[in-house]
A and B are shown apart, each in its own frame.
Chain A
Amino acid sequence: MSRLLRKTGSILARLLSRKGSALALLFLSAVTFAAIFANFLPLDPFGQKLVNALKGPSATNWFGTDELGRDILARVVYGARTSLLTAAGAVAIAALAGVPIGLVAGFFGGWRDAALMRLVDVLLALPAILFAMAMIAVLGRSQAAALIAVGITGIPSFARITRAQVLTLRKRDFVTAVEAFGGSATYNMFRTILPNSWSPIFVQVVVLCSVAILLEAALSFLGVGVPPPTPSWGEMLRTGKSYLHEAPYYAVLPGLVLTLTILSFDVLGRALSDILQGRRDVDVVAKAGEASS
């Protein structure tokens, strides 16, 4: 445990020693803090005051007010909760399903590999946003549906990364040694190979957070994501777009927070990939396939 703490500490120190990733970490900490403790902040995302509708940024409403006179800053803060929660849940689903798929496919090879990876290919056959929309068409519109849909689209990336990692470790001596001592396949996969595969999986968790936040916002922007009145960044951009002439800040400011969040996760993902694996470029193509255009 103390070893893990020390390792986390050293990674954190290295992240903070770079200007870009330190800024990203600072911004994400602020957003996360605000999202968690939103209830304790003097912000009310639901209070409507129609006389106050579409007022520009002021001392009382820093980000201005929306068409119902609600405080936009409050809705951005509570929207962070929606975004981060959906992203965390989606990444958890993707990792919990994708990592075992990659482990089994890479470890056993043969028909299990072929069958599992073909299934993953089918998931990749459709752009993520379309797949998520089709899922929501079936499940109905809710936060849980958005979370599940975004999560499923993330499974292939975890499966592929884990499988690639297993393939490089599979023939290594320490794995053969465990086999020779009679360690079961399950033991070997989860206790020998998996602990040695954390780095790329962890990088993927961070990268997928940015993809998941983007996808959730895109779904809400299209009007099929988290249903109102729950504040969500994508939904705010969707409504704000109707008031571009009267209240340009309405779509611009929430969009800025969304963009900074996504960029921060990207910067963090690249820095981590550099620190943990000595690679600067995260798999751009894999990411491109998932992001929505």
Chain B
Amino acid sequence: MIGFVVRRLLQLVPVLLLASTGIWAMIYAVPGGPIAAIAGDNASPEQIAAATAQFGLDRPVLVQYADWLWNALRGDFGISIRGRAPVLELIGQRLPATLQLAVAATIVSLVIGIPVAIASALRPGSWIDRLLSGWSALALGVPTFWLGILLILLFAVELRWLPSASGYVPFWENPLGALRNLALPALTLGVYVSGILARFLRASLVNELQADYVRTARSKGLPERQIVGVHVLRNALLPFVTIVGLMMANFIGGAVVTEAVFTYPGIGRLLIQAITTRDYPLIQGCIVVILVLYIAINLAVDVLYAYIDPRIDYR
């Protein structure tokens, strides 16, 4: 098991290295480079020279890259140009909000997705199956930002039950306030992902229901509830773990749009601000942190999967 984890970690090194080199190179390939952003558009040649020297941009490219990589490895992504604070500190402030939303959205998607999948898998081809599969197509096709706007219109503008802009309230400090703020963004993200989860779980349930052990269980007179609830669901949920993990990993960085709809203070919004203000160190930092989290979650899923499914050989 430990060997498996170590090997998977080692496989990540080239991907991370290549990706971070790409991120670094992309930004330094900009015409005018980051200096134009740092010094401002109307900077005099002296100011540009000063900024170049201050940020060490007059050194050979390879030295700059090695320096950046070495600092990044130690968690130092430099100082935000606009925010005048260490990049990692800015990201650290936003991380709990993003994680809280990711967890809430995952719960919503499971609460919707699992019952939908079970209901439609038990009677494939029936009207309820067709209705529910239409629903998951809808959940997948409706853009999250439009769904978010519709939810704001209904719950914030018309009914006035929930705030239209969601702030970050830590759940353990004020559970009710946190739920009020999380409800709409978590629903928006959760509905979208429930469409994917339901489709996937339905397919694997239908598959399992045709297995020999189900026929055996039925012929020995086990109640259907027990067959589905205990035996089938357990087997069908195995591949499902991978998808849930993938979705969670996607929430970390991919919730940019939902965060923008609800002006939710997560990493996604920080990244948009960084891009619109051309804050290059912050852009690099955000992307690297998101990438590392994304890969870490995927790795955790792989390991968990190997652990819960004894058929997988992880030597």
Residues of A within 8 A of B (CB): 118-119, 121-122, 125-127, 129-130, 133-138, 210, 214, 217-218, 221-224, 234, 237, 240-241, 244-245, 248, 251-252, 255-256, 258-259, 262-263, 266-267, 281, 284-285, 287-289, 291-293
Given A137-B283, A252-B150, do A118 and B14 touch, yes or no (CB 8 Å)?
yes
Q: Are B275 and A137 in contact (CB under 8 A)?
A: yes
Interface status of B23 (Cβ within 8 A of chain A)? yes
Residues of B within 8 A of A (CB): 14-15, 18-19, 22-23, 26-27, 29-30, 137-138, 140-146, 149-150, 152-153, 157, 164, 189, 192-193, 196, 199-200, 203, 243, 246-247, 250-251, 253-258, 260-261, 271-272, 275-276, 278, 283, 287, 290-291, 294-295
A293 to B22 CA separation, bound complex (whole angstroms)? 24
Q: Are A258 and B153 in contact (CB under 8 A)?
A: no
Given A125-B15, A237-B149, A258-B146, do A134 and B23 touch, yes or no (CB 8 Å)?
yes
Instruction: Tell me the smallest distance from the CB of A243 to a CB of chain B, in Å.
Output: 11
User: A128: nearest residue on chain B (CB-CB)?
Assistant: B254
Q: Are B294 and A126 in contact (CB under 8 A)?
A: yes
Given A127-B254, A133-B271, A252-B150, 10 other A-B contacts at CB below 8 A? A118-B15, A118-B18, A138-B30, A218-B145, A241-B152, A255-B149, A288-B193, A288-B247, A289-B250, A292-B143
Residues of chain B with a CB closer than 8 A to A287's CB: 140
A263 to B147 CA separation, bound complex (whole angstroms)? 14
Which of A221, A240, A255 touches B260 (beta carbons < 8 Å)?
Answer: A221
Q: Are B272 and A222 in contact (CB under 8 A)?
A: yes
Q: Are B149 and A130 in contact (CB under 8 A)?
A: no
A98 to B38 CA separation, bound complex (whole angstroms)? 36
A234 to B36 CA separation, bound complex (whole angstroms)? 29
Residues of chain B with a CB closer than 8 A to A259's CB: 141-143, 146
A129 to B144 CA separation, bound complex (whole angstroms)? 13
Q: Are A285 and B200 in contact (CB under 8 A)?
A: yes
- A contact face: mostly helix, strand, loop, or mixed: helix
Residues of chain B with a CB closer than 8 A to A210's CB: 141
Q: Are A129 and B200 in contact (CB under 8 A)?
A: no
Q: Are A223 and B272 in contact (CB under 8 A)?
A: yes
Q: Are A288 and B196 in contact (CB under 8 A)?
A: yes
Q: Are B137 and A263 in contact (CB under 8 A)?
A: yes
A265 to B142 CA separation, bound complex (whole angstroms)? 12
Residues of chain A with a CB closer than 8 A to B152's CB: 241, 244
Which of B138, B260, B276, B294 touches A125 (beta carbons < 8 Å)?
Answer: B294
Residues of chain A with a CB closer than 8 A to B27's CB: 137-138
Instruction: Tell me the smallest distance from the CB of A137 to a CB of chain B, in Å.
Output: 5
A256 to B138 CA separation, bound complex (whole angstroms)? 12
A136 to B183 CA separation, bound complex (whole angstroms)? 32
Instruction: Tell me the smallest distance from the CB of B192 to a CB of chain A, in Å.
Output: 6
Residues of chain B with a CB closer than 8 A to A284's CB: 140, 196, 199-200
Q: Are B200 and A134 in contact (CB under 8 A)?
A: no
A262 to B139 CA separation, bound complex (whole angstroms)? 12
Q: Are B256 and A122 in contact (CB under 8 A)?
A: no
Q: Are A263 and B157 in contact (CB under 8 A)?
A: no
Instruction: Tell me the smallest distance from the CB of B180 to a CB of chain A, in Å.
Output: 19
User: A137: nearest residue on chain B (CB-CB)?
Assistant: B275
- Residue among A137, A217, A218, A258 with most chain B CB within 10 A: A137
Given A122-B22, A281-B199, A293-B250, do A221 and B145 touch, yes or no (CB 8 Å)?
yes
- Residue among A136, A241, A267 with most chain B CB within 10 A: A241
Residues of chain B with a CB closer than 8 A to A240's CB: 149
9 tightest A-B CB contacts, nearest first? A255-B146, A127-B254, A263-B141, A137-B275, A293-B254, A288-B196, A138-B26, A251-B149, A221-B145
